[in-house]
Amino acid sequence: MTQRYDAALRPFGLRATQLPILTAAATGDGVPVAALADSLGMERTTLLRNVRPLIRRHLVDVRRAVGHRHDELRATAKGRALLARAYPAWRRVQDDVQAQIADPAWRLALNDLGRTVRGG
């Protein structure tokens, strides 16, 4: 299933593991790196491995949170613009997968994933 999402996101230079990171970074004033790793069920090192290409492409940046000791991830204007272009491709795969899965439990899980990617 991941291959389907990866194929849809390839024209945008993104992988399925990077889209929720970019989405989270595009919401609000920034997301703490450790909290994002927890919410995505990733080890911090795995998250950072997925973030590095986004940083190199100037889609996100990592900054020390003002008045705190943790780092926050923020999407750049370029990252938010790419997300706006890539999301419809992800959504098409999501809708197709949902239509193919008959089990209600799977549909609920995919809906939850969709809310996570959309940031809500």
Mean pLDDT per 10-residue interval, the chain, length 120 residues: 92 95 89 89 90 96 76 93 96 86 72 70
What pLDDT was estimated at residue 114? 73
| Gap between the Cα atoms of 98 and 101, Å rounded | 5
Question: What's the pTM?
Answer: 0.78
Dihedral pair phi/psi, residue 57, rounded to 5°: -90, 5
Domain range 2-118, CATH class: mainly alpha
- Choose among 4, 3, 1, 18: nearest CA to 75: 18
What are the extents of the domains in the chain?
Answer: 2-118
Whether the CA torsion 2, 84, 109, 100 is positive or negative: it is negative
Q: Which tokens hold the place of 97? A: 């997968």
